[in-house]
Amino acid sequence: DVPFACVVCKLKLVDTDGLVATRSQWPDDLQKCGVPVVTSSSNHFMVMANPTAAKAIAELAREKLARWTSDYTDTPRKVVFPH
């Protein structure tokens, strides 16, 4: 298992970050593998300029990432994909 996470950028009222569809940012195959997700309300182009998002991404780069269980993945899935 390669340690990594998905950063899903999501704009209000649409299922995209302005460039990439939300479902493509954390696709089903990665969810099934237990790849963790972090969300940001920033758009695709400004996520690294957003201090909160940049801090979260930096923390992901520093910490040891573990795969999630399928039970744990269900809760974030409802947040990322509310419809």
83 residues of the chain, pLDDT tens digit each: 788 999 999 998 899 999 999 999 999 999 999 999 999 999 999 999 999 999 999 999 999 999 999 889 999 999 899 87
> What is the pLDDT at residue 82?
84
At 61 the three-state DSSP class reads: helix
> What is the pLDDT at residue 83?
75
> What is the pLDDT at residue 25?
97
Q: Are 31 and 48 in contact (CB under 8 A)?
A: no
DSSP type of residue 39: E
pTM of structure: 0.87
Q: How many other CB atoms are found less than 10 A from the CB of residue 77?
A: 15
